[in-house]
Structure formats: C-alpha cells, structure tokens
Amino acid sequence: KAGVTQTPRYLIKTRGQQVTLSCSPISGHRSVSWYQQTPGQGLQFLFEYFSETQRNKGNFPGRFSGRQFSNSRSEMNVSTLELGDSALYLCASSLGDRNTEAFFGQGTRLTVV
Amino acid sequence: GQNIDQPTEMTATEGAIVQINCTYQTSGFNGLFWYQQHAGEAPTFLSYNVLDGLEEKGRFSSFLSRSKGYSYLLLKELQMKDSASYLCAVRVAPSGNTPLVFGKGTRLSVIA
C-alpha cells in the first residue's frame, strides 16, 4: 500500500510569491491534515479536510488556504510569501474516524528568500 | 490555549532505558499519541493511549495518567537507530476526529 506522497520535496521561493503544495493520501483515507514544522514552534496545525470540506482550521493567517478534491488529494496554497513561512510542511492522512492514527508524508521543505 | 511540554533534548547510552516525559494542559482530551521523527523524515506513529495505564509494544511502552495530565514514553534496550525526535501529541476535542496538538518534541541522542 503506497504511503502519503507530498510534492515537491523541496522548494525555494522569493518573498511575495505564492506557492502550491500537493498531498496524495493513502488510498481509502478521506481525511487530510496539514501541519507546519519549524525548529522554534514544532508542529503546528494548519487545517484539515474531510470529504472535500474543511473540517478544522488552525490559527494561521488567511494567506494559507487549502482544498481537497474528490479523490481525496489535497493542495495547500500560501500567497504573498514571507521569510517566516520557511518551514517543513507536512501532510497527514487518516481514515477520518475517531481515534485513528495519522500517517505523515515526507513533507515539503519550503525556503523563502 | 493548549500547552504540551516535553524536554527539549536527552542523551542516553546504547543498551540503556530512557523515559521521555510529556505533560499537557488542554481544553479537552481524546487520546495521546507518540511519534518518532528521524532527521529529514516523516513522523512515524509509535503509540496511542486514551485510558490510564501502560501500553507496551516491543521495546517501546507508553504510559498515561489523565488526572495528572501526564504521559511518558519508555524506550528499552536503546539502539543507535533510536536517535531521533520524539513527539507527544494530544487530540483535544471531547469527541470526534480533530487535529492533533503537538509538543515541540524531544531530541534523543543515543551514544555508545
């Protein structure tokens, strides 16, 4: 069974640009969550999608947005990039039911210069 | 707000036992997870506790006390490959599937 796939693995962008990251969950998983990981803050929740609907949202500005497609694949978009957006962005998929574990992808390392 | 505390770094010797503590103060509790993350890799699931007590899985055990807001991860017979970050995470909502709130992680170094 294929794991969670995130593309691209590495990305370098300039301040002010926008970026789109992609996540393909494990087959059969309907929930996709996005996290930002930085050395100072650890893993912070961005948002979760379930059956194409945003089910939960963290405390990030509106520049961070996402969506989920009918095949459960998800994309995350960050507009007007800032230097502080440099981080590892992780996607986690799960069945979406209560108490089920989340499986993480390898992440996308975003560097904003 | 939600608060999950873990030590930042720990060092232990190969073959020894190490205990990584996690304390939490959250608005709700619906389970505690431990993940292992090697540098440059994805976090991988280690254990899940929702009831008080000890869950054992091979060399790894995890303990939970809900009344104390406390958990620990116990690693026995340490191996060099156990050098990694260990993340404690709480599912906060009282019911349903909600995102995990993570601690900042404990970086464990296993030395010979």
How far is CA A9 from each of CA A87, A107, B64, rounded to the nearest angstrom?
12, 6, 35
* pLDDT tens per residue, range B32-52: 999 999 998 889 999 999 999
Distance from the Cα of B43 to chain A's closest Cα (Å) equals 6
For residue A100, give the 3-state DSSP assignment. coil
How would you classify the pairing of strands B9-13 and B106-111? parallel
A64 HSE (CA, 13 A, CB side): 18
A32 pLDDT above the threshold of 50: yes
Record: contact B87-A42, CB cut-off 8 A: yes
Tokens 């640009």 found at = A17
Query: Cα-flanking dihedrals φ and ψ of residue B41, to 5°?
Result: -120, 175
Average pLDDT over chain B, rounded to an integer: 92
Higher-confidence residue of A2 and B28: namely B28
Higher-confidence residue of A100 and A62: namely A62
Of A42, A102, A103, Cβ closest to residue B105 = A42
Q: Which residues of B touch A (CB under 8 A)?
A: 30-31, 33, 35, 41-45, 48, 50, 87, 89, 91, 95-105
Mean pLDDT along residues B17-43: 93
Question: Residues B29, B62, A50, A42: is their CA dihedral positive or negative?
Answer: positive
Which residue in chain A is spatially nearest to B42 when comparing CA positions?
A: A106
How confident is residue A41, by pLDDT bands cut at 50, 70 and 90? confident
Mutation target vs A (from B64, B88, B98, B100; most A CBs, 10 A cutoff): B100
Q: What is the DSSP letter of A61?
A: -
Distance from the Cα of A97 to chain B's closest Cα (Å) equals 6
How far is it, in rounded angstroms, from Cα B45 to Cα A50? 21
- Residue B93 contacts by C-beta under 8 Å, 6 or more apart in sequence? B28, B30
For residue A38, give the 3-state DSSP assignment. strand
Can you give the pLDDT at residue B96?
A: 47
Query: Which phi-psi region, left, alpha or beta, contains residue B58 (left: φ > 0; alpha: ψ -120 to 50)?
Result: left
